[in-house]
Structure 1
Amino acid sequence: MQLRHTLLASSLALALASLSACGSSPQQQATATSPDTTVQSAAVVAAPAPAAAPGVTQSAAAQAAGAAYDFDMDVFHPVVARNGMVATEQELASQVGLSILKQGGNAVDAAVGIGFALAVALPNAGNLGGGGFMMVHDAKTGKNVALDFREIAPQAATRDMYLDAQGNVVNGKSLYTHYAVGVPGTVAGMEHALKSWGTMPLAKVIAPAAALADKGFPVSETLAKILQQEKKNMGQWPATRAIFWKNGEPLKAGDMLVQKDLAQSIRLIGQQGAKAFYQGAIAQKIAAETQPHAGAVTLADLRDYKVVERAPTTGTYRGYNIVTMPPPSSGGPHLVQILNMLEPLPLAQWGPNSAQTLHYMAESMKLAYADRSEYLGDPDFVKIPLKGLTSKSYAASLAKTIDPNVARSGKSIKPGQPQPYESDQTTHYSVVDKAGNAVAVTYTLNTNFGSGIVAKGTGILLNNEMDDFSAKPGVANAYGLVGGDANAVAAKKRPLSSMTPTMVLKDGKPVLVTGSPGGARIITTVLQTVVNTIDFNMNPAEAASTPRVHHQWTPDELRIEKGLSPDTIALLKAKGHNVALKASMGRTQTIQLRGGAMYGYSDPRNPDGKTLGY
């Protein structure tokens, strides 16, 4: 273990050397001790000091000493900082982002540096060969922008491309073949963000990622487990094995992961910009990888890729403004929709993870996910009743169908009618700077390592995002999600996503920046983070450490994490919920702003994550 720590430190030192030449002097890193003593669960009220037993007296000094000892209600403590903060799923990437902030870069500069660093240090989800969404709050103008750099279907894609002659879905074709690859958007998205809102040159912010890829770093226990889990898929491709294999097996914990080709690709992007990826040498190599497969991504597809700036989906919840991702993300619309259903309820009185709270939350989730299957898709291709879906009146009409004592079966729920009111492995990171700029990014290859295919000579893993389309109405994708015509495959179309980078604002300023990976469970993970913060007054550490639940309409089960009390589970079952204890859900990266300070926390469900500030 000592050796691994030494190697990590060595890799990090090299990666940051490229930034340190023009950086400021090191500043003290934030500690995890919170000076704020006011945060406590709304369901818990501090009890008065117990009265002394009859005949027992206590001096004023003794009383003061006791009060000084018992002063903090918090059980979990976030990281605290005042000048800047980053929260990511990989400590090496967090160090890169923090270094950029310390050198005077803004939140967008740091976010782009992190995006490239995660492509190196978190190869199962961080990426150059995938796509995603970025929410940006510009403190100077007060403007909020949703940047869509989601992958798009190739020009030759067709509605039935994943069906055989009998009309059945071909097993694995949309996941683990060259036909699974959508046209990547990450590199274009990162460059667009930096040019629009950043202050540093692209070459400078991505240099640490190139150095890290060149030098290498020791594989963590977490990454080693994922590599072993994906052995069958990744083992099919020689270019992939050349990077992630050693002695005929996936790399193990402590082995060095060195990515020379990826380092060269990053340097080329630094020199030539996104053009290198979409028209230059990298584009040529990606096209050469897919060329033998008629109908897959072509050089013309890469050349024609465009990012899109969109107006965020917005809502209100208990006096706060919710600013989140619009379609082609389903996350933002349904986050607002569920919050609208929950807002009239006395959740603070019921308490976090009480049977009553979870019952209403689960029933609201079912109704929203039923609508997701019917109405959500790429807004450039289908008309989405967005105003209706996020309307408080529509939410009220849905909430009236919830029985306080009985869970409805999934089969009895059909997509609602929002029109009358019309007047997935992924990673997330959050960044806030001292000027108040905030960035929330969720981007992905889809499943772990995407298609598993590395474009030979680039070191770049290619996504399998085409699986996020509905290959056939009624047939679920890798996350169990069912879709219809709105999310059918079409040329140049963006597949529907659940990614939900989100900000909560008060008086026009961010008070919460959050998001999570997790496929279908992203929406409900972000939902519970917002509710835990606003309704139950939890700090980011408490909100992340609270057990989560999830219901997505189909399959008809209330999925829970371990940690709920047997009493609560029994009450939920008595209401008719099909409770299923399964693996943990989500890995939030959250920053809260209050009282002139930043409070952040990386979800404990991923031990490699790290929040850093100064």
Structure 2
Amino acid sequence: MKKRRICFKYLFVIGTLVFHVKANLVTAQQLSVKARNGAVVSIDKYASQVGVGIMKKGGNAIDAAVATAFALAVTHPFAGNIGGGGFMLIRLASGEEIGIDYREMAPALATPEMFLKPDGSVDIEKSNFGYLVAGVPGTVKGLETAWQKYGKLPWRTLLQPAIELAENGCYLNKYDAKSLALNKQNLARYPETRKIFFKPDGNTYATEDLLIQKDLAATLKAIARRGSKTFYRGRIANKIVKDFQANGGILTKEDLKNYEVKIRKPIKHNFQGYEVIGMPLPSSGGIAIAEMLNILQQVGLNKETPLDPENLHVLIETMRYVFLDRTRYLGDEDFVEVPVNKLLSEQHAAVIAKKINKEKATLSESLYQNVSVHDENMETTHFSVIDKEGNIVSNTYTLEEAFGSKAVVKGLGFLLNNEMHDFNINPNQANIQGGLGTNPNGIAPKKRMLSSMAPTLVLKAGKPYLITGSPGGRTILNTVLQMVLATTTYKLSLEEAMKLPRLSHHWMPDLVYIEKGLWDNQIIKALEDKGHKFAEVEFLGDLHSIRVNPETGEYEAVADPRRAGWAEGY
């Protein structure tokens, strides 16, 4: 067994070198930087530089996060947004920990059956595109709330870089240009969207093309002058509602007026001498990651070799059981009762740990108990921030699918989310036993849809150690989990952890998703012998992260090379 583990360790080193070469052929990126005064890492060069620029002007990590988020709304329309929502996790240098929930809400006229046809089947068109599928946006108010409570610089200063990027234009990187091309057909559905993202010849903007967004610049200027009230109560709100009414949407002035940002107490637990901090519901990230870490702590892992098949088998089985719990129990806690204390207890972890057969994969179908499953999309974006005082921010936000609903609000220049799709949209869906499933994430007026977004912070000896998070739909939870394990249990550097190949299991379907071309056949064969079945995907996650060296205090910011990314620091 010892020789086998050493063999797998060398395979890990070789595999990560191959990955590094492959990734750097995709696009020019500043993948890592070391800094002392502050750092921002995101998917986009402009946004990361904007965030660091704000800190150089005297802003703190919260100011930088707000400015970065607004910049991404311009430069990364694939997921950056003012028409969507998300979660911001903050730890101040004073030790205060805050979760800002600016997740979208269902309009007051929403109903559980709103996406069903008369025959009871789901209307794919309505549940994916346009105005009916848009939830009440939370980003503008969420970012303003963070700034009001914890920022330092003037509000206008934080929006000015985004305004200039929209007004003067930004050059598209390979990833965003490719995303526009891949979504060309659906983006072309809407004249206002075509006006912004298509050239006169009918093609979408390509790599290194200058994308100018005058309408979005004007919207950002209004927000800079009047704050979020113009978006939720004023002239912008009126234009949003008028466009919804003209295009079959149900969002009203009252929906915008009544939107609330929630300040929530983060989920916090200990793992092998580290403190792991995550978002509470309606983010499933904090609970699910804590539950998985609790189980793994009970089962135990070989701490020398991350890719030991014995470790990976236990990891997959842990994912399987926790995703069953996620589907069975989790939803907006303001609407449904969730046994959070039970799920986070050592007793619950011990029960699951005892069920894990170390020699054989469990059949997910055998665990099925009156629950229905829904899909979540991969298109989200995450960024991490730290300032010289040690304030830290982990922020994940989204439009749901790529470019959200594909509809741009007339005259305002921003895309709407299609976040209603993140509810379980078919209340009549039967489980494999033929019965109706429980539906804690069903649609209800003013309810927030369950999310897999998982901004995460890790402390060591009470000081910042890791800032991380990822896009990826349901894969987010497992991606972030693997980053936490890599930097704590396996003591890898952040760059080594970033190159480690990833896998993900979601209970149903009963498949282990692995990154194409990054896994050694011997490892896969060892897991197949235990009964696991595999499916390949291009990549899993986009973990733009920052690690603080506990010995030197130096900031190590690393962008994930899987999509695009830029680490900036000073």
Q: Is the contact between residue 285 and residue 453 of structure 2 (CA under 8 Å) also seen in structure 1?
A: yes
1:605 corresponding residue in structure 2: 562
* Per-residue deviation, 1:348: 3.9
Q: Please list the CA deviations of residues 70-100 of structure 1 after superposition, one character each: whole Å capped at 9, or x if unmatched.
A: xxxxx99942111111111101000100101
1:401 aligns with 2:355: yes
Q: Please list the CA deviations of residues 213-252 of structure 1 after superposition, one character each: whole Å capped at 9, or x if unmatched.
A: 1011222221111111111211000000000001112112
Q: 1:556 aligns with which of 496, 510, 525?
A: 510
Alignment of 1:288-437 (within 5 A): 288-293=242-247, 296-349=250-303, 351-414=305-368, 424-437=378-391
Partners of 1:350 and 1:556 lie apart in 2 by 28
2:25 corresponding residue in structure 1: none
Partners of 2:440 and 2:300 lie apart in 1 by 36
Alignment of 1:470-549 (within 5 A): 470-473=424-427, 484-549=438-503
1:145 aligns with 2:98: yes
Q: Please list the CA deviations of residues 427-485 of structure 1 after superposition, one character each: whole Å capped at 9, or x if unmatched.
A: 00010011110010000000110000000100010000000000125859xxxxx9842
Partners of 2:563 and 2:135 lie apart in 1 by 27
Alignment of 1:3-14 (within 5 A): none
* Per-residue deviation, 1:509: 2.1
Partners of 2:301 and 2:501 lie apart in 1 by 16
Q: Please list the CA deviations of residues 301-347 of structure 1 after superposition, one character each: whole Å capped at 9, or x if unmatched.
A: 11111100001112211011111010001111000011111113442
2:534 corresponding residue in structure 1: 579
* Per-residue deviation, 1:536: 1.1
Q: Please list the CA deviations of residues 404-435 of structure 1 after superposition, one character each: whole Å capped at 9, or x if unmatched.
A: 11101110124699xxxxxx511000100111
1:241 aligns with 2:197: no
1:127 corresponding residue in structure 2: 81
2:525 corresponding residue in structure 1: 570
Q: Which has the higher contact order (CA 8 A, sep 6+)?
A: 2
Q: Is the contact between residue 313 and residue 333 of structure 1 (CA under 8 Å) also seen in structure 2?
A: yes
Q: Is the contact between residue 350 and residue 357 of structure 1 (CA under 8 Å) also seen in structure 2?
A: no
Partners of 2:455 and 2:412 lie apart in 1 by 29
Residue type at the aligned position of 1:610? W
1:589 corresponding residue in structure 2: 544
3-state SS of 2:556 partner: strand
1:207 corresponding residue in structure 2: 160
Distance 1:483 1:250, change over 3 A: farther
1:192 aligns with 2:145: yes
Q: Is the contact between residue 375 and residue 486 of structure 1 (CA under 8 Å) also seen in structure 2?
A: yes
Between structure 1 and structure 2, the one with the greater Rg is: 1
Partners of 2:416 and 2:332 lie apart in 1 by 21
Partners of 2:328 and 2:445 lie apart in 1 by 20
Partners of 2:504 and 2:308 lie apart in 1 by 15
Distance 1:93 1:437, change over 3 A: same
Q: 2:216 aligns with which of 255, 262, 269?
A: 262
Number of aligned residue pairs:
531
3-state SS of 1:485 partner: coil
Partners of 1:366 and 1:475 lie apart in 2 by 21
Q: Is the contact between residue 370 and residue 415 of structure 1 (CA under 8 Å) also seen in structure 2?
A: no
2:56 corresponding residue in structure 1: 102
Q: Is the contact between residue 159 and residue 489 of structure 1 (CA under 8 Å) also seen in structure 2?
A: yes
Residue type at the aligned position of 2:245? Q
Please identify runs of 4+ aligned residues in structure 1 that moved more than 4 A: 75-78, 473-476
Q: 1:168 aligns with which of 79, 101, 121?
A: 121
3-state SS of 1:455 partner: coil
Q: CA RMSD in A?
A: 2.0
Q: Is the contact between residue 501 and residue 515 of structure 1 (CA under 8 Å) also seen in structure 2?
A: yes
Q: Is the contact between residue 61 and residue 386 of structure 2 (CA under 8 Å) also seen in structure 1?
A: yes
TM-score normalised by structure 1 residue count: 0.84
Residue type at the aligned position of 1:611? A
1:177 corresponding residue in structure 2: 130
Q: Is the contact between residue 302 and residue 311 of structure 2 (CA under 8 Å) also seen in structure 1?
A: no
TM-score normalised by structure 2 residue count: 0.90
Q: Is the contact between residue 353 and residue 564 of structure 1 (CA under 8 Å) also seen in structure 2?
A: no
Partners of 1:255 and 1:305 lie apart in 2 by 37
Q: Is the contact between residue 97 and residue 110 of structure 1 (CA under 8 Å) also seen in structure 2?
A: yes
* Per-residue deviation, 1:294: 5.5
3-state SS of 1:498 partner: coil
Q: Is the contact between residue 112 and residue 427 of structure 2 (CA under 8 Å) also seen in structure 1?
A: no
Q: Is the contact between residue 120 and residue 428 of structure 2 (CA under 8 Å) also seen in structure 1?
A: no
Distance 1:90 1:415, change over 3 A: farther
Q: Is the contact between residue 299 and residue 353 of structure 2 (CA under 8 Å) also seen in structure 1?
A: no
Q: Please list the CA deviations of residues 37-79 of structure 1 after superposition, one character each: whole Å capped at 9, or x if unmatched.
A: xxxx9x979xxxxxxxxxxxxxxxxxxxxxxxxxxxxx99942
Partners of 1:571 and 1:543 lie apart in 2 by 22
Q: Is the contact between residue 52 and residue 64 of structure 2 (CA under 8 Å) also seen in structure 1?
A: yes
- Report sequence identity in percent: 43
1:222 corresponding residue in structure 2: 175
Residue type at the aligned position of 1:151? E
Partners of 2:139 and 2:380 lie apart in 1 by 13
Partners of 2:438 and 2:286 lie apart in 1 by 19
3-state SS of 1:600 partner: strand
Stretches of structure 2 that go unaligned for 5 or more consecutive residues are 1-5, 11-19, 22-30, 372-377, 431-435
Residue type at the aligned position of 1:597? E
Q: Is the contact between residue 320 and residue 505 of structure 2 (CA under 8 Å) also seen in structure 1?
A: yes
